[in-house]
Amino acid sequence: MGDLRIGTSGWSYPSGKGTWNGVFYPTRAKRPTRFDELSFYAEHFDTVEVNSTFYGQPRANVSRSWVERTPDGFEFSVKLYQKFTHPKMYESALRRSMHAPEGHEAAIRELIRPNAADLDEFRRGIDPLASAGKLGAVLAQFPPSFKAGPAERDYLSDLLRALNDYAVAVEVRHSSWSDAFGETLDLLNDAGAAWVQIDEPKFRFSIRQNRLPNVKGFYYMRLHGRNAAQWWTHDASEDRYNYLYTADELREFSDTAGAAKELVRKTYVYTNNHFSAKSVANAAQIKQQLGEPLTGEYPPEFVAQFPDLAGIVRVADRFTLTPTPAAAPARARRTGVKR
């Protein structure tokens, strides 16, 4: 029987309509001076998926602070920097930062091409996590426009080879990858990479998956929600994740994760429907359905917003929670290598 870890995608959502402040965390005005969101989160879950490393390269000093603020055994799965997976998005950000007009295309093409220095910078940024035994998987998430053509398969193969000392989970979303099921499976299996199983609104060109693990090392599932109406058209990007799974909808994923736990050495399940901490509620429900311990105390305001959790989670006396002390540094050991 393998290790099962359930958590959310990200832990800090301080702004917007879907903020976690006032729901899972106290508002800024009510929280104690030393209240720490990550430490509080780690009282409830033993893993988290880091999204910030997609938007900027990870920094060792930041990673080191994450190690110090979480208990032994906690794991971070880290999303790969966008330069490796989303070249158009990276190019747009680069042009904005450089105030670069159209033109100079040769120079721009050279700047957006990932290189060994970029990979080394990513490695240095997550090394404190790996050295402390707190690195879970490295998530390579590709956009729906990334299709299973010869050039794309070659690029993915080269990327996996470059990251072969980490447990890599690959999320592809275009149907061409599932249409070429055997080829995709061979590519990922040869690299020991997990094919990320995703739940999200389905459209004409969306990938189709069977939810089965493809490697014995680990299994990786992400639940994005099913808000089809706001997936492509929304006022803010957070709106697409404004979806709360019902207990019946979650049962499918709980059963799958429980079965995967029997087949692989480690199973990761992350809820990404983060609007107003709905991901926290659903992650807690999955833990309850699987008989996993529900640790930590939840604010009464959280349970009032998600009444299905009443009687399932422990409720704090009040929302103004006591300061969370920094966790003791984890024992130094190297993980994050391929399992």
Determine the pLDDT at residue 324: 43
Between helix 150-162 and helix 181-191 the angle, nearest 10°, is: 20
Which residues neighbour 296 within 8 Å (Cβ) at sequence distance 6 or greater?
A: 40, 43, 44, 314
pLDDT (0 to 100) of residue 339: 41
Residue linked to tokens 């193969």: 157
Q: Which two three-digit tokens encode residue 137? A: 């998987």
Nearest to 287 by CA among 261, 265, 264: 261
3-state secondary structure of 3: strand
- Give the per-residue pLDDT at 323: 44
Contacts of 137 (CB under 8 A, 6+ apart): 77, 78, 166, 167, 168, 169, 194, 218, 220, 268
- The total of other beta-carbon atoms located within 10 Å of residue 188's CB is 23
| CA distance readout (Å), 273 to 85, 141, 207 | 22, 16, 19
Specify the pLDDT at position 327.
Answer: 44
- Domains of the chain and CATH, by start: 3-315 (3.20.20.410)
State the pLDDT at residue 49: 98
pLDDT for the residue numbered 94: 59
Upper half-sphere CA count for residue 19 (Cβ side, 13 Å): 11
Is the model's pTM score more than 0.75? yes
The predicted pLDDT at position 332 comes to 38
Counting as low any pLDDT under 70, the low residues of the chain are 89-112, 318-339
What does the pLDDT read at residue 317?
Answer: 83
Structure tokens at 289: 């359905």
pLDDT at position 99 is 62
pLDDT for 90 = 54
